[in-house]
Amino acid sequence: MDNVNSDIRISSTLSSNFYSSKKKFKEVIDKIFAKSWHLITDDTHFDEENYVYPFILMDNVLPEPLFLIKNKNGIECFSNVCTHRGNILVKSPGKIHKTINCNYHGRSFDTNGEFLFMPCTEGMENFPSNKDDLPKISTKQWNQFIFTSLEPKFIFEDLIVDVDARVGWMPIKDFVFRKDLSNEYLINANWTLYCDNYLEGFHIPFIHKDLNEVLNYEEYSVECFKYSNLQIGYAKDKDLCFDLPKSSIDYGKNIAAYYFWLFPNIMLNFYPWGLSVNLIKPLSNGKTKVNFYSYVWKEELLDKGAGADVNKVEMEDQEVVTSVQMGVSSRLYKSGRFSPNMEQGVHQFHTIIKDFIYENDK
């Protein structure tokens, strides 16, 4: 990774083996994903107190059994593993009565994760202790979205503060999830290549002909923050852009889309019709799952502007990303160079990856 320099003018991209090495892939999971924030779900599940939502953090890649629960403190996250003998506690989502009970030996916990009872404990010394409580996981909520992290390397506010500052004027909390407009894809490519592609508009005129007809390519811009960045797509037609309030720092501009990327793998795409949330989930060094979740604000605008056919754009992106995966696997390709004007977002991504990998080696 020494070829990734903080100065984009002299920096090269990540080396080709980063995208194909199984060893590098495991290192990324341990040193990046185990220490980053994950978007788990939205709060529509949690209308009632004591509702429990079990999940595995990253399937087989980072298989940590956890559950979210709405208790007196709000929505919190705990380990879903019994502190007695490791049995999985909550098998399916739903409302519990008063306690979380292990069906193996009868140990029980309250809705705050604290140990309550286990039969046949006579003679045990120093029992119970804090070790008998369920480990609590860092949890944050932004609008309707719930995030967790096993061991956060950075505070959640550093991830989301710039999103709020730019689009906080939208009634995001009121956006309605639409299952019929959501989708899931499997791609034969490394997850970082998918992010690389997302993080620049350089390819738009070459890959996305229809989108290029809507966006003003000459005005396309990128702004980099601490653990996120923003790409702004400007509309050629004023009828296809946001009706920005005077309170917005972009007031008076013809903005067709706000594309936010949150390190390492979350994408929040704001269009005049609403929000497309893209979660990029690594499955192996050469396979990735992409989840699209659509939250609609103004349904009458779904077929207009830059957000008119996100599925077509996605298919075009997947085709080129799969092609790049084949290319970076070549023995003759080592790394590339960044366009200082067009690839600031990709350069930032590679720089943060380098920082995470190297800092944890110190």
| Domains with residue ranges and CATH for the chain | 38-142 (2.102.10.10), 177-359 (3.90.380.10)
Predicted local confidence at residue 249, as pLDDT: 95
What's the confidence (pLDDT) of residue 335?
A: 96
In total, the chain counts a number of residues equal to: 362
Cβ pair 193, 346 in contact under 8 A: no
Closest CA to 272 of 183, 173, 175: 175
Per-10-residue mean pLDDT, the chain, length 362:
92 95 94 97 93 95 97 97 98 94 97 97 95 98 98 97 97 97 96 97 94 92 97 88 95 96 98 97 96 96 88 93 96 96 97 87 44
The predicted pLDDT at position 361 comes to: 47
> What's the pTM value of the predicted model, to 2 decimals?
0.94
What contacts 24+ positions apart, CB below 8 Å, involve 333-341?
333/16, 334/15, 334/16, 335/3, 335/12, 335/13, 335/14, 335/15, 335/16, 336/12, 336/13, 337/11, 337/12, 337/13, 338/8, 338/11, 338/12, 338/13, 339/200, 339/202, 340/8, 340/9
Across the strands, what pairs with 278?
A: 267, 292
Element (H, E) at 348: helix 344-359
